[in-house]
């Protein structure tokens, strides 16, 4: 019996050895030829594009993008918010007869809402910049770093008009921060890079160009925005817009879209303006938006320009001045033609509006203007903007 079992086992082993040998013979060409350049899986001996100077230049640019991402992305954070809201019950349940009959207590139902945005660390002390609309009216703010560590954030301050908020997290060692650039130094066509958390997708890198350096979009602060075609989507708000040197030149704020997703028209708050707001928030200083009390004509006809002696000149025609306003007190009147604001050419309304809003109440703004074909200047002490200002500044 034992001898028979030994014979069967020998036969089985022999078959197994034969099977392994045959499989090895069949598969060995594939394994040995994986490193063979003459194999059918290699169409050419060497990629001819590797010799192209254009490709070599593109590879250098690609390496630069990788370096930017590796350097900056650890300083870009994910911001999660939580808000408890009271939901009113169906009016049917508020009927006193119904409640009395079915013994239904009158109460409101609470519901938790969550939000998502981006931000970036500006120094190793743990200060983080984002948009006000990301963190306004919430009960809890959580900051998540690229290493997936989460921290409860304290809201230091917000500027609702500028849409800039300052947060702080504590107890973080070796915190990576961004480098702030000069937003005045950018030009149309420059590379633009956005890093953030669109739709909750963490540490997403998108690239495009600067489409416009001063786009007027009728925002509350009057500050012309940086326009870019780098993909910005919901969740990118508050994240950095970078130049090719990896420096933050803007805070991603909003997009134009009918679908809710990116169509290549995104806007960012210029960093030079944001720096002033951030410093004020850090100091706890509240700057009330300025106000001068004028309304300007939307356009000027050729006949009006000729009659006023301003043909061919760039500026703003005052259509109305509020009696008793700062502009009125400084001597400005309807049909005065504003040519400069703080020495800068007033070629569009945003120049006036952004200066007045940024300077804030109590500041002095110098206006150059033309009246009766003669040039004048006036120093206007700004007042605090009314709660609901009329059209104009």
Query: Where do the structural domains in the chain lie, given as residue ranges?
Result: 73-168, 179-283, 290-384
Strand intervals (E) in 307-393: 316-321, 337-341, 344-345, 364-371, 374-381, 383-384
73-168: what fold? Thrombin, subunit H (2.40.10)
Catalytic pick among 73, 118, 163, 262: 163
**Catalytic choice (118, 183, 219, 237):** 237
Per-residue pLDDT, 14? 62
- Report the pLDDT value the prediction gives residue 391, as an integer from 0 to 100: 42
- The domain 290-384 is placed in CATH, from the list 2.30.42.10, 3.40.50.150, 3.40.630.30, 3.30.470.10, at 2.30.42.10
| CB-CB contact of 254 with 266 (8 Å) | yes
Q: Identify the active-site residue in 133, 212, 216, 257.
A: 133
**Tokens (6 digits) for 314:** 């760039």
237 is catalytic: yes
Q: What is the pTM of this model?
A: 0.73
269-304 CB burial, b ≥16 within 10 A, e <16? bbbbbbbbbbebbbeeeebebbbbbbebeeebeeee
Matching fold, domains 73-168 and 179-283 = yes
**Is residue 163 among the annotated active site residues?**
yes
pLDDT, position 45: 73
From CA 23, how far away is CA 27, in angstroms rounded?
6
> What is the structure's pLDDT at 161?
86
Domain 179-283, what architecture? Answer: Beta Barrel (2.40)
pLDDT beneath 50, residues of the chain: 1-8, 388-391
Please give the pLDDT value at position 265.
94
Angle (deg, nearest 10), helices 271-283 and 349-359: 20
Q: Can you give the pLDDT at residue 221? A: 72
What is the model's pLDDT at position 286? 76
Q: What's the pLDDT at 384?
A: 86
Other residues' Cβ atoms within 10 Å of the Cβ of residue 93: 14
């Amino acid at each position: 019996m034992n001898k028979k079992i030994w014979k069967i086992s020998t036969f089985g082993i022999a078959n197994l050895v034969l099977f392994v040998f045959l499989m090895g013979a069949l598969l060995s060409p594939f394994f040995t030829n994986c490193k063979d350049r003459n194999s059918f899986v290699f169409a050419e001996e060497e990629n001819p594009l590797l010799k192209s100077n254009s490709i070599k230049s593109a590879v250098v640019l690609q390496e630069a993008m990788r370096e930017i991402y590796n350097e900056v992305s650890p300083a870009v954070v994910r911001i999660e918010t939580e808000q408890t809201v009271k939901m009113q019950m169906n009016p049917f349940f508020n009927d006193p007869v119904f409640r009395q009959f079915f013994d239904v207590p009158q109460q409101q139902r609470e519901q938790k809402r969550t939000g998502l945005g981006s931000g970036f660390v500006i120094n190793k002390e743990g200060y983080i910049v984002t948009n006000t609309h990301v963190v306004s009216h919430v009960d809890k703010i959580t900051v998540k770093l690229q290493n997936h560590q989460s921290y409860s954030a304290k809201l230091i301050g917000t500027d609702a008009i500028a849409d800039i908020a300052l947060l702080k997290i504590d107890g973080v060692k070796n915190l990576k921060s961004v480098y702030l650039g000069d937003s005045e130094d950018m030009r149309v066509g420059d590379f633009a890079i956005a890093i953030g958390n669109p739709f909750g997708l963490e540490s997403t890198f998108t690239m495009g160009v600067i489409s416009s350096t001063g786009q007027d979009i009728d925002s509350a602060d009057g500050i012309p925005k940086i326009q870019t075609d780098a993909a910005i989507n919901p969740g990118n708000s508050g994240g950095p817009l970078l130049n090719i040197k990896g420096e933050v030149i803007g805070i991603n704020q909003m997009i134009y879209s009918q679908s809710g997703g990116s169509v290549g028209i995104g806007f960012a708050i210029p960093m030079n303006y944001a720096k002033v707001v951030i410093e004020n928030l850090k100091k706890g200083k509240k700057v009330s938006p300025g106000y001068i009390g004028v309304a300007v004509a939307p356009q000027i006809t050729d006949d009006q320009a000729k009659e006023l002696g301003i043909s061919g000149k760039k500026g703003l025609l005052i259509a109305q001045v509020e009696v008793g306003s700062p502009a009125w007190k400084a001597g400005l009147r309807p049909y005065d033609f504003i040519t400069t604001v703080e020495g800068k050419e007033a070629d569009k309304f945003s120049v006036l509006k952004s200066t007045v809003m940024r300077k804030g109440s109590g500041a002095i703004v110098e206006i150059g203007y033309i009246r009766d074909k003669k040039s004048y200047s006036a120093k206007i002490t700004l007042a605090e903007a009314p709660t609901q200002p009329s059209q104009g500044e």
